[in-house]
Amino acid sequence: MLSTIVQNLLNALQWGSFYALIALGYSLVYGVLLLINFAHGDVFMVGAYIGFFVATFLLTQAAGLPGWVVLAVTIPATMALTAVVGVTLERVAYRPLRRKGANRLYVVITALMAGLILEHGNLALLGASRKKFPELINEVVYTVGGVSFTNLKIAVILAAFAVFVLLHFIVTRTKIGMAMRAISYDKFAVPLMGIPIDTVIVFTFILGSSMAGLAGVLFAMSYPVLEPYMGALIGWKAFIAAVVGGIGDIRGAFVGGFLLGAVEILVVAFFPSTFRDLIAFTVLLVILSFKPTGLFGVAKTTKI
């Protein structure tokens, strides 16, 4: 019984890691721009595909490379390329609207459309056939006292924690982090202080999208069947996780992600799986009704 509980906690940590990594991207962008970037779930999907193409390219072009070398190249390359996608989105879809002073509502709708364009662009370009992510590392199953885990599972959880520490450091301890917080505080006064607001926004998108790229590669390694719609549902759920945590606050995104992952796994572990979303979202709704700004959210102060 104890081993089952520990096993489920491990499962929950792994599943929650993906929510947390994606929720961080939502939260960062919201913190700076007050924009809900609904395309973020699909940026995650694009990240998984980029990872797939980089990995297969390396495996076919430089055959004989050990898997871990391929992985070591795939991860930074995917993060960089996904960041390019995120920045392009900002440049093409969001910035023109911001320049014209459009209401935030229109930018959110644009984000929704950008997400659908990514999904269906993928469908048109690559077809409906699913892709199988190549096995880069040999997954070893360890069993300790009835609890089974793989090296990959541990790596995913560690990666999520490392990303959180890194982002928290950037936002609270660096100059650019201070600029990000400043923009969310007052985006009209900040440019007057000589802070290049566009650079900071681009940096925010780079951070958020590269984390989505990382999540995409790790997800594709854990669940190696890729399809164009894989980002939609997990993206929405991660968004909800970010809101429950207190959107705009990266601690909130992190805690919210793991909370949602844990509730989903534990509900399935003790109830029929039909109840999963019902119970999971009821729990989140109750949290929100007590703390409408989320766990870490403070009503209208500096966010991020």
Partner 1 sequence: MRRSWILAATLGLALAAPAWAADTIKIGFNIPLTGDIPKVGESSKYAAEMLREDVNSKGGLKVGDKTYKLEFIYEDNESKAESAVTTALKLIEQDEVLAIVGPNSSKQAVPAGQVCDDNETPMISPWSTNPDTTKDRPWVFRAAFLDPFQGPVAVDFATKTFQAKTAAVIYDLSNDYSKGLAEIFKADFEKKHGAGSVVAFESHGTKDQDFSAQLTKIIAAKPDFIFVPDNYNQVALIVKQAHNLGWTGPFMGSDAWGSAELMELCGDDCKGHYFSTHYAAAGATGATKEFIERYKAKYGYTPDDVAALTWDATRIVLQAIQDTGGLTGDLDKDRKAIRDAMASIKEFDGITGKMRFDEQGDPIKCAVVVKINDQGEFVFTESVCP
Is residue 266 a contact residue for partner 1 (CB under 8 A)? yes
Q: Do residues 179 and 191 touch, judged by C-beta distance below 8 A?
A: no
The per-residue b/e assignment along 275-290, b for 16 or more CB within 10 angstroms, e otherwise, is ebeebbbebbeebbee
Task: Using the minimum distance from each CB to partner 1, give the nearer residue, 249 or 264.
Answer: 264
Is residue 148 a contact residue for partner 1 (CB under 8 A)? yes
Binds partner 1 (CB under 8 A): choice among 98, 117, 154, 224: 224
Cα distance between the two ends of the chain: 40
Binds partner 1 (CB under 8 A): choice among 64, 99, 272, 299: 272
The per-residue b/e assignment along 231-259, b for 16 or more CB within 10 angstroms, e otherwise, is bbebbebbbbbbbbbbbbbbbbbbbbbbb
Is residue 150 a contact residue for partner 1 (CB under 8 A)? yes
CB of 14 to partner 1, least distance (A): 7
Is residue 104 a contact residue for partner 1 (CB under 8 A)? no
Supply the DSSP symbol for 191. Answer: G
Got the DSSP string for 105-173? HHHHHHHHHHHHHHHHHHHHHH-S--EE----S-PPEEEETTEEEEHHHHHHHHHHHHHHHHHHHHHHH
Binds partner 1 (CB under 8 A): choice among 233, 278, 285, 298: 233
Q: Do residues 21 and 253 touch, judged by C-beta distance below 8 A?
A: no
Q: What residue has token string 């998108």? A: 205
Helix H or strand E segment including 225: strand 225-226
Is residue 273 a contact residue for partner 1 (CB under 8 A)? yes
Which residues inside 235-264 make contact with partner 1, applying CB under 8 A? 264
CB of 182 to partner 1, least distance (A): 39
CB of 161 to partner 1, least distance (A): 19
Phi, psi of 110, deg, nearest 5: -60, -40
Binds partner 1 (CB under 8 A): choice among 15, 52, 164, 254: 15
Task: Using the minimum distance from each CB to partner 1, give the nearer residue, 152 or 244.
Answer: 152
Is residue 225 a contact residue for partner 1 (CB under 8 A)? yes
Amino acid at 11: N
Is residue 138 a contact residue for partner 1 (CB under 8 A)? no
Is residue 123 a contact residue for partner 1 (CB under 8 A)? yes
Site of interaction with partner 1 (CB under 8 A): 3-4, 7-8, 11, 14-15, 123, 127-130, 132, 135, 139, 141, 143, 148, 150, 152-153, 223-225, 227, 229-230, 233-234, 264-266, 268-269, 272-274, 276
